[in-house]
Amino acid sequence: MSFLELLQPQGDKANLNEIIEARKLLPKHVTKAIPSCLYDDEGSLDEEVLVILSCVRARRENKDITQSEVGERIGNETSDLLRPIIKELIYFYTTNTREEVEERFATAEAEETEAQETQEANAEDWNDTTVPLE
């Protein structure tokens, strides 16, 4: 592969300028790599980072869109509405294929469901073994 072949357009993935722009816009408290920084240390979604990364991605389609416009357009009512946005950002900022991103989310969802079922079963077991005080 020649040097010039390395400088081909990135297609639907983030290019170096977009990654640099995103890094410049991220708040100082963000130390994780893009797109891992979407989640804080406790695993909660960082909405400020979500808006910034979404804005950089949205500027691909609309160069005039502002960060505040992107924030206004992102709904935060349920995780089901945010999930497609997060999937798109992970796809855009990584080398993963769309299929790999979907598989990753399906695996995480299955693990979350399994953990929740285990927690519920343990709570039921606890309730079944308690002895009433007399």
**Per-residue pLDDT reduced to its tens digit, 53-104:** 999 999 999 999 999 999 888 876 666 788 899 999 999 999 999 999 999 9
Q: What is the pLDDT of residues 6-62, one digit of tens each?
A: 777 778 899 999 999 999 999 999 999 999 999 998 888 999 999 999 999 999 999
Domain ranges of the chain: 9-95, 97-128
Give the pTM.
0.77
Nearest CA among 7, 47, 36 for reference residue 94: 36
Give the separation between CA 65 and CA 60, rounded to whole angstroms.
10
Amino acid at 105: F
Q: Name the residue with tokens 């693990």.
A: 111
Query: CA separation (Å) from 7 to 14, 15, 92, 94, 129?
Result: 13, 10, 18, 18, 66
